[in-house]
Amino acid sequence: MDTETVTTKPKKSTPALPKQKPPPVIILHGQLEDHKAFQKLLTDTAKGGYTLKYTKRRTTIQVANKRDWETLCRQLEMREISHHTYTCVEDKTHGFVLKGLDFEPEIEDLKDELREENIPCEKLFKMRGTKRPAYLIITTKDVTLSQLQRHKYVILNTRVTWERHYNNRKITQCHTCQEWGHATLNCKSKPKCLKCAGPHRVADCDPDLVNLKCANCDGNHAANNPDCPTYVRKIQEIKKSEEPQKKFVEAPPPKSNPWRKLPATPANTATTGTSNATIAHTRPQQGYPQQRSPTKCSAPNSVSAATRECANLFSALTELKAACNISEMVRAINDLNALLKEASTKAEKFLVFTQFTEQLDSYDI
């Protein structure tokens, strides 16, 4: 057993708070030299109770409510205990890509315009490396793509298109500690250099550095190298978790005729005789094709036909998988369906459809 869990009961005097639990705070293992003092800190901070989970490298703390989570984060930061956490569900944001403003308005002008259009824009960036000007807009999580597409298609007197923003990388890398899986914003660890893994930010690294060292695997590459074994392993883990749990396994052919085991009914015993058990499964002879041999059972054939059909289906799916990204295709179809549901007239549906085809680039089909 490499894990151990400690739980304290919430105190009765705690006022009622939202039921949803905040995200866990994760502390890197090795920081806790004095567990007793640390547990006292938790008892004093997490008034609603807490649960600790020790693993080989980390200690995970789950508190009961957002207020405790915020207090604990503050306390850990004050004590300079390296940790990271995740964004609370209610604080999550949505990212959208705005295209069509080829005259490249100033960021501030665009911000003002979005404000006037009642789009709660939290952050706004001009995207780099796009063929035509594109802006990344971060909004609160109550703003949806369909709302924007339906109501905000003219910005600064220009016809625009909205797309959902996706990270190209499947996993976030923290620019402070270089670990994969949490955002820089949520990390309060001591910095590790991207290039040399030293205890400084990459901007402060030796400009004449020759030997790169990865903060995640100690290899001689920068920590954001896509060939880093740690990154490759994480991506494989994600891919594995995205695979359907149940894979198709072709059933073995039946060793014996399963139909034989069915008890003979009076109807078929009457027409075929009890000695011929192989046709005990057949329906009463009424209307049954006469040319079919009564002693030949068709069940194995139909089983193998079904197996063949399944095999054909799966080989077709394999071909499809080679030709396109099925999960992205399904995602696109689902998104289109969701948008079409909100359109009531034919004209609206047509508009939704044409707008959707324009943004197919955002799907990795």
User: Taking the complex as a whole, how short is the minimal distance between the CB of residue 357 and Zn ion, in angstroms?
Assistant: 40
* Distance in angstroms (rounded) separating the CA atoms of residues 143 and 280: 64
Q: Is position 352 an interface residue for Zn ion (rule: CB under 5 A)?
A: no
Q: Is position 24 an interface residue for Zn ion (rule: CB under 5 A)?
A: no
Q: Is the Cβ of residue 76 or residue 196 nearer to Zn ion in the bound state?
A: 196
| Interface with Zn ion (CB under 5 A), residue from 52, 64, 177, 339 | 177
Which residues ranging from 83 to 112 are in contact with Zn ion (CB under 5 A)? Answer: 84
Q: Is position 173 an interface residue for Zn ion (rule: CB under 5 A)?
A: no
Where do runs of H (alpha helix) occur along 46-81?
66-78
Which residues ranging from 262 to 281 are in contact with Zn ion (CB under 5 A)? Answer: none
Q: Is position 214 an interface residue for Zn ion (rule: CB under 5 A)?
A: yes
Q: Is the Cβ of residue 210 or residue 347 nearer to Zn ion in the bound state?
A: 210
Q: Is the Cβ of residue 137 or residue 177 nearer to Zn ion in the bound state?
A: 177
* Token pair listed for 131: 């063929």
Q: Is position 193 an interface residue for Zn ion (rule: CB under 5 A)?
A: yes
Region of 49 (left: φ > 0; alpha: ψ -120 to 50; beta: rest) is left
Binding mask 26-65 for Zn ion (x = CB under 5 A): ----------------------------------------
| Interface with Zn ion (CB under 5 A), residue from 62, 85, 149, 176 | 176
Considering only the stretches 102-110, 146-154, 228-236, 306-314, report the one whose residues sit in contact with Zn ion under the rule CB under 5 A.
228-236
| Interface with Zn ion (CB under 5 A), residue from 198, 282, 294, 340 | 198
Q: Is the Cβ of residue 205 or residue 340 nearer to Zn ion in the bound state?
A: 205
* Distance in angstroms (rounded) separating the CA atoms of residues 39 and 79: 14
3-state secondary structure 115-146: HHCCCCEEEEEECCCCCCCEEEEEEECCCCHH
By the 8 A CB rule, do 77 and 85 touch? no
* Token pair listed for 97: 């890509």
* Residue 16: C-alpha distances to residues 9, 20, 24, 67, 107 (Å): 15, 12, 20, 12, 43
Helix or strand holding residue 352 (H, E): helix 346-358
User: Taking the complex as a whole, how short is the minimal distance between the CB of residue 45 and Zn ion, in angstroms?
Assistant: 21
* Token pair listed for 55: 């693993």
Count the residues of the shown chain that bind Zn ion, applying the rule CB under 5 A.
16
Q: Is the Cβ of residue 122 or residue 204 nearer to Zn ion in the bound state?
A: 204
Which residues ranging from 105 to 164 are in contact with Zn ion (CB under 5 A)? Answer: none
Q: Is the Cβ of residue 1 or residue 203 nearer to Zn ion in the bound state?
A: 203
| Interface with Zn ion (CB under 5 A), residue from 27, 52, 155, 196 | 196
Ordered DSSP codes for 153-171:
-EETTEE-EEEE---SSSS
Place of tokens 């909100």: 342
User: What phi and psi, each to the nearest 5 degrees, are found at residue 26?
Assistant: -115, 125
Contacts to Zn ion by CB under 5 A? 84, 174, 176-177, 187, 189, 193, 195-196, 198, 205, 214, 216-217, 219, 228
